[in-house]
Amino acid sequence: FGSSLGARSLGLGARRCHRPPAPLLVAVPWWPTPPAAPRRPLSRGMTDAAGGPRGGEAFLASEDVPKLVPTLRQVAALAVPNVVGYLMTLINELTNTVVMGHSGNNAALAAVGLANMMQNCFGLSVGFGIAGALDTLVSQAHGAQQHELACQQLQRARMLVTLQLVWMIPLLWFSGDLLALIHQDPEVARDAGEYNRASVWGLFGTFQFEVTRKFLQNRGCAIPPALINAGTAVLHVGWCTFFVLYLKMGNAGAGYANAVTWWTQFVIGSLYLFVTSRREGLRRRSVLWIEGPGLREWGQYMKTAVPATIQLCTEWWFWEICALIVGYLGEVPLAAHVATLSWVALSFMPAIGINASTAMLVGNALGANQPRKARYTAWVCVGVNVVVWSLIAVGTVAFRNVLARAYTSEDDVRALMETLLCIFAGAGFFDSTQNVMGGALRGIGKNTLAAISYIVCYYGVMLPGGIAAAFPLGFGVQGIWASFAVGTGLATVIFSLALARTDYRKLAAESAARMEREGQQAKEAAEASRLAREVAASSRLSDPSTGA
């Protein structure tokens, strides 16, 4: 299996990092990539009349005019594997639910959903958000051909996500007791605690694989992580069946299946880096270990990581809060809400894949001094998303009855679900569009704007608006879903204005100057670290106490 993930079989062998810049090349053998424009580094000290970095005109003069078809190929080459990878992650949770539904009682099944909610809110969303900073840092460094800098950002991400385990593991380990304290059903709380105590053994693995996946994606290598996710999703079915059904471990068995899957992903991802790093012109130690530079500059990394984490958590937590609120409306609205969310999670995968592609391609273009390409790619990705969601929306409305029947046999739940599907078919235009635009903002480094906008739109508009529509105004769960269109519509307007008013030439000039400075510092730090290791090794060899 490791051989099938090798760079040669994926067409990566001919693309080495030390060759002339080709920042937007994507490693997909069946799609030819257009020739990249030569990169002109920004000379030191160049400023415009306002005192900022100059060189926009030079960039435009040396940059090829972006073309639609090659750009669409690049977007698809990244988006399709990303969709597959995210879909496989969703299937793992579905596997746990199905297996527990056929082996345990209602309390055991409910505990899986409750435990997943706690893992998402107090674990995965934070770790994945910190790793999301690589969408900005690695994509721009790769576009500028500063590969040592990209590796150091990878090392910082590895350290920072690992440190989060200090507070995450105790919280999840005692989650059963915490749920009992807030008066959850004792049996459900106990089963959820068992699930989380087993799952925490794999948190390190899933965080490290997420960092590896982000590193590869933002270097244009989206297929290997997708293949790893697909392969482990198939294996997860067997592991979950073995632990839950054969060993009769119940909820703990599903948690152990998670841990095995997450560690397997991490191991295979590390093996892929080990095999391909030298072909890519990277040092194995840089991509698989933590060197001295990776233990420094954490503050600079967190300036990008904190907004990225807020951006992810605000949206992730919003749906968990909504589920609690809808619970006060009764069983039928809650059942319809949960069933509709299941379809939304599936249908939203293309938007998430395009989001990741947008962040990588825009960041690459900006780091490569291609401001025109960065702007053009951002809006092409938005257009692609609108077309894709149009197809999804039409299909959702046309087959809403079929979808509702597939999820439930209760007539009242089915009728309400059909209404919610129609509401989201319209709201999804705004939601998916702002999601893709958020990826573009990460690519250009405007994470703080995106984070603040999400806080305002989700918790200043949607949440209070949804509560008001559901309870005082009497619209019920339909009011909550309708408020979603208002909030995401506002986010779409804000992000549209931000992207339209962005001076890409100025950002490209600033990025070029920053990448040149930080890249040189990264090379010097890596060389100093290497010399220190050599001195330490020679000292050990010459020390008589070692027996040399």
Tokens of 547: 């027996």
Per the CB < 8 A criterion, the answer to whether 445 and 140 are in contact is yes
Of 116-125, 211-220, 244-253, 320-329, give the lowest mean pLDDT range. 320-329
Q: Give the integer Cα–Cα distance in Å for 4 and 231.
A: 11
Residue 48 lies in a domain: no
| List of residues 6+ apart from 331 with CB closer than 8 A | none
Q: Cα–Cα distances in Å, from 143 out to 136, 287, 355, 365?
A: 11, 18, 18, 6
Q: Give the integer Cα–Cα distance in Å for 75 and 67.
A: 12
Q: Give the integer Cα–Cα distance in Å for 253 and 470.
A: 39
pLDDT digits (tens, 9 = 90+) for 449-490: 999 999 999 999 999 999 999 999 989 999 999 999 999 999
SS3 531: helix
Tokens of 387: 């077309």
* Helical spans, DSSP H, in 200-330: 203-217, 223-241, 250-276, 284-288, 298-327
Per the CB < 8 A criterion, the answer to whether 366 and 138 are in contact is no
Q: Give the integer Cα–Cα distance in Å for 337 and 420.
A: 8
Residue 21 lies in a domain: no
Of 176-185, 352-361, 386-395, 485-494, give the lowest mean pLDDT range. 176-185
Q: Tell me the angle at which helices 203-217 and 68-103 cross, rounded to the nearest 10 degrees.
A: 160
Q: Give the integer Cα–Cα distance in Å for 438 and 270.
A: 29
Per the CB < 8 A criterion, the answer to whether 176 and 193 are in contact is yes
Residue 502 lies in a domain: yes
pLDDT value, residue 546: 53
Q: Give the integer Cα–Cα distance in Å for 223 and 7.
A: 11
Check pLDDT > 60 for residue 136.
Answer: yes
| List of residues 6+ apart from 441 with CB closer than 8 A | 447, 449, 450, 495, 498, 499
Give, for 58, the enclosing helix (H) or strand (E).
Answer: helix 56-62
The residue range of the domain holding 312 is 69-506
Confidence of residue 332 (pLDDT cuts 50, 70, 90): confident
How many domains are there within the chain? 1
Rounded to 5°, the CA angle 303-307-310 comes to 140
SS3 340: helix
Beta-carbon-side half-sphere exposure of residue 141 (alpha carbons within 13 Å): 27
The residue whose two tokens read 């300036």 is 303
330 Rama sector, left if φ>0, alpha if ψ -120 to 50, beta otherwise = left
pLDDT digits (tens, 9 = 90+) for 364-414: 999 888 999 999 999 999 999 999 999 999 999 999 999 888 887 788 888
Residue 74 lies in a domain: yes
Residue 116 lies in a domain: yes
Q: What is the mean pLDDT of the chain?
A: 84
Residue 340 lies in a domain: yes
Q: Give the integer Cα–Cα distance in Å for 80 and 78.
A: 6
Residue 121 lies in a domain: yes
pLDDT value, residue 542: 67
pLDDT value, residue 43: 37
**DSSP state string for 124-190:** IHHHHHHHTTHHHHHHHHHHTT-HHHHHHHHHHHHHHHHHTHHHHHHHHHTHHHHHHHTT--HHHHH
Residue 416 lies in a domain: yes
Residue closest to 520 by CA, chosen among 293, 303, 302, 305: 293
Give, for 345, the enclosing helix (H) or strand (E).
Answer: helix 331-347
